[in-house]
Structure 1
Amino acid sequence: MSLPTESTSTRYAADVSARIPPRDAVQGIVELAPRDRAIWELAAPHLDVRDNDVHSLYAYGLAAALQALLPGSRAEIVLPAILLHDTGWSTVPDKLILAAIAPGGGRPDLVRRHETEGARIARQILGSLDFPETDIEEIAAIIDGHDSRPEALSPDDAIVKDADKLWRLTPHGLRTVQGWFGLDADQALRLCCARVHDSLFTEPARAMARGLAAVASLDLAPERTALG
């Protein structure tokens, strides 16, 4: 006769908080630097369209992670550029944005408009914060072509392009794309994989993309969904 088994608590009975290291002692935690917080405050009103504000924050985190791994890149260029890269969508009528970014690319003129307008807005914001003129022009050049230009101008440009695309494979990116186009989760994942993997410029970004896609695909696996 077997003995009854005792249920096992899922919560440890002791306090482990003393074993948790401080934030500055661990890798991978990202927060906006004071310089970038000032940019964000001025950029946020231009990003309040189609979840571009949330997108830009997640892309900032991805860009910061990539920048730390890629020698020769500069945080003072990459991070302002990624915060400002989509500000130009604020000049495009909201009802036309999805037509511009939908699969098939029906409105490349609007994609181009958001780039040129984004570069203009970036110059205004960075100029008001007394950024060096050479840095302003480099950041504006990255924004002015971050979607339409097929090549990267520099390592900094490559990171901005890669972080922008990688967002699509994050949980927020997949949910957003799913809602935009009325897709189910598997369709959104396949669409985003098709639009991300072959368009990345850096090896760290390619590794991140495969990791994000692997986790997202296993979330949809029958073995995982059966577990509730």
Structure 2
Amino acid sequence: MTTPKTPVADAGRAAGTAAAHRADANPAAVDSATADFAAAYPVRPVPAPGPVDTAPIATTPAALEELDPLWRAVVHETRTRGNDIHLPISLAFAERLCRAYPDADAELVRVATLLHDTGWAHVDESRIISEGFAGDWRKAAIRYEHEKQGCDVARRVLPGLGYSAEFVERVCDIIDGHDTRPAAHSLEDALMRDADRLWRFDHAGIALASSWFGMDPATYTDRLATEIVPELITQAAHDMAVADLARSTALLKTAVIR
């Protein structure tokens, strides 16, 4: 099933959004946008007005063909940090989330999700695990670097595919800070963040990510339950995560193999 495209906001609104959300340009404005989002969606996890699909994500892969030109433009960037597994699964979850939250700009969520971690291909790969997953990881320099590089990728590939300058900056507003900014500043930002986490609950995500941390699947799935589920912003993502985690732990026999 394909999420419908929603129109890109008019140039004035988009330009204003870009200026407001750029942390390096105006941190106070970013804080204001975050506060506005929290005020607009005061209940957490954010209730879903649309249908919530908790079936295995393999039953609804990301829309075919529509984004293929963008995928082809970033093949190089998919070959680092398991992005060729992480990004397609995250995009499939993003599309599901957009169906659950029809007020979101689905096109923005989808493109930002597809590109959000492409910056890992342009940083020192040896530092990704040692720095990007250790200690206070939100403050790790390598995290900021991959966000900046991801924005550079977006600005390089999107204009040639017909995306407007304003839309590109809205994509970058989400990419720049998706790991290091402590809270979401819009519904689209929240959905991308949740999609970025949801892939971990699928058995493919568990297999890949547990190897990054040097954990057995039982230990890693315990961590998902105690640390990652509480981070999810939307109720739809929470429901998907809980359903996927139950399936994955049963499949991997983590209650016994630990």
- TM (norm. structure 1) is 0.80
The 3-state SS of whatever aligns with 1:30 is coil
Q: In 1, are the aligned partners of 2:116 and 2:150 still within 8 Å (CA)? A: yes
Structure 1 position 109, deviation (Å): 0.6
Structure 1 position 193, deviation (Å): 2.6
Select the structure with the greater relative contact order (CA < 8 A; seq sep ≥ 6).
2
Match of residue 86 from structure 2:
55
Structure 1 position 223, deviation (Å): 8.2
The verdict on how the C-alpha distance between 1:219 and 1:31 changes in structure 2, with shifts beyond 3 A counting, is closer
Structure with greater Cα Rg: 1
Structure 1 position 195, deviation (Å): 3.2
* CA distance in structure 2 between the aligned counterparts of 1:79 and 1:185, rounded to whole angstroms: 29
* CA distance in structure 1 between the aligned counterparts of 2:126 and 2:178, rounded to whole angstroms: 22
2:198 to 163, 166, 175: 166
Q: In 1, are the aligned partners of 2:62 and 2:91 still within 8 Å (CA)? A: no
Structure 1 position 201, deviation (Å): 1.1
Q: How is 1:27-176 mapped onto 2 (pairs within 5 angstroms)? A: 29-105=60-136, 108-176=140-208
- After superposition, give the CA deviation of every residue in 1:20-78 in whole Å (9 maximum; x if it has no partner): xxx89xx8633435441111111221121121121000000000100111021122101
* CA distance in structure 2 between the aligned counterparts of 1:185 and 1:81, rounded to whole angstroms: 29
The verdict on how the C-alpha distance between 1:112 and 1:173 changes in structure 2, with shifts beyond 3 A counting, is same
* CA distance in structure 2 between the aligned counterparts of 1:67 and 1:211, rounded to whole angstroms: 18
State how many pairs are aligned. 201
Give 4+ residue runs of structure 1 displaced > 6 Å after superposition: 222-225
The 3-state SS of whatever aligns with 2:67 is helix
Cα RMSD of the aligned pairs, angstroms, is 2.2
- After superposition, give the CA deviation of every residue in 1:137-160 in whole Å (9 maximum; x if it has no partner): 111110111111122121111110
The 3-state SS of whatever aligns with 1:38 is helix
Unaligned regions of 5+ residues in structure 1, if any?
A: 1-22
Match of residue 16 from structure 1:
none
Structure 1 position 220, deviation (Å): 4.7
AA aligned to 1:97 is I
* CA distance in structure 1 between the aligned counterparts of 2:172 and 2:114, rounded to whole angstroms: 12
* CA distance in structure 1 between the aligned counterparts of 2:255 and 2:246, rounded to whole angstroms: 14
The share of aligned pairs that are identical, in percent, is 30
Q: In 1, are the aligned partners of 2:218 and 2:254 still within 8 Å (CA)? A: no
Unaligned regions of 5+ residues in structure 2, if any?
A: 3-52, 54-58
The verdict on how the C-alpha distance between 1:164 and 1:222 changes in structure 2, with shifts beyond 3 A counting, is closer
AA aligned to 1:104 is G
* CA distance in structure 1 between the aligned counterparts of 2:205 and 2:131, rounded to whole angstroms: 17
- After superposition, give the CA deviation of every residue in 1:198-224 in whole Å (9 maximum; x if it has no partner): 111111001111111222233355888
